[in-house]
Amino acid sequence: MDWSNVTIDELVDALKEVEWSQPPRPLAEFFAKFTVPKTQSKWDGRVKCNMYYYRSNYFVLFSLVLVIAFIRNPFALVAVFLTALDIACLNDSFAVSLSEKLTRTVRRFSPPLAHKLRAPVSTGTRGRPLKGTVYICGRDRRIFVGALGLVTALLWWYSSAVITILGALIIGITLPFLHASFRTPNLKARLNSFREEFRAVWRGYSDA
């Protein structure tokens, strides 16, 4: 298979269809042999072949870089989580469900406080007011989202989470790219690619 003739779209489609549950390749093979590609076409084919063959290793490497970054700056992880939570609260179903879970949790420790966190009496069923306003812990959803957004913005600024995440993304993308550029594709990688290609074609004939 001439990987230099494979387009980026075809590579992406192939990565979507193949199994990602297979374990990463052994480290002895992953770091076996590195050479500088002699031509542009060989470099292009090498990168695509390695991206396909070592996809599990690259995913683990990318995840490891993110884990190390968040361990060094745990506030960045909290900032990302709160940002996702703030955005999710804009969804009515999620906001109502979150309010119910928070109220039930507080009720275990302080029933009077849980009673104060209930939505106003004038609301409809499941915390939805008749006029369409959604409440979280007895307060208008907009107040909750605004307050959480302010706290999240301060946390992003205080923890320098942008620098941490951008740095992790750059490193997590650069390392696999450098490996794919200089790792010499071995015969096993080529045979494995042919085998998976044959299986894909065979499945196509079976479906037809």
Same domain, 150 and 176: no
Q: Which domain holds residue 34?
A: 8-72+166-198
Nearest to 2 by CA among 157, 193, 171, 169: 193
Nearest Cα neighbor of 74 from 169, 145, 164 is: 164
* % of the chain surpassing 90 pLDDT: 33
Residue type, 12: V
Structure tokens at 97: 């469900």
Q: Are residues 25 and 84 both part of a single domain?
A: no
Residue 141 counted as domain residue: yes
Asked whether residue 46 is domain-assigned, the answer is: yes
For the whole model, what pTM was predicted?
Answer: 0.70
| Pair 94, 148 in one domain | yes
One domain, residues 148 and 180? no
The total of other beta-carbon atoms located within 10 Å of residue 117's CB is 17
Q: How many residues does the chain have?
A: 208
CA triple 27-33-37, angle to 5 deg: 130
The answer as to whether 208 is a domain residue is no
Does residue 109 form part of some domain?
yes
Whether residue 85 is found in the same domain as residue 35: no
Are residues 115 and 50 located together in one domain of the fold? no
For residue 113, tell me if it sits in a domain.
Answer: yes
Per-residue pLDDT reduced to its tens digit, 67-94 = 999 999 999 999 999 999 999 999 888 8
Q: Are residues 121 and 173 in the same domain?
A: no
Which of 95-104, 139-148, 170-179, 187-196: highest mean pLDDT? 170-179
> Same domain, yes or no, for 133 and 193?
no
Residues 122 and 180 in one domain: no
Rounded to the nearest 10 degrees, the angle between the axes of helix 74-88 and helix 141-159 is 160
Instruction: Note the pLDDT of residue 130.
Output: 47
154 and 87 housed in the same domain: yes
Do 174 and 143 lie in a common domain? no
Q: Are residues 29 and 132 in the same domain?
A: no
Per-residue pLDDT tens digits for 161-202: 999 999 999 999 999 999 999 998 766 655 565 555 545 554
Is 104 among the domain residues? yes
Cβ pair 69, 167 in contact under 8 A: yes
What total of structural domains would you count in the chain?
A: 2
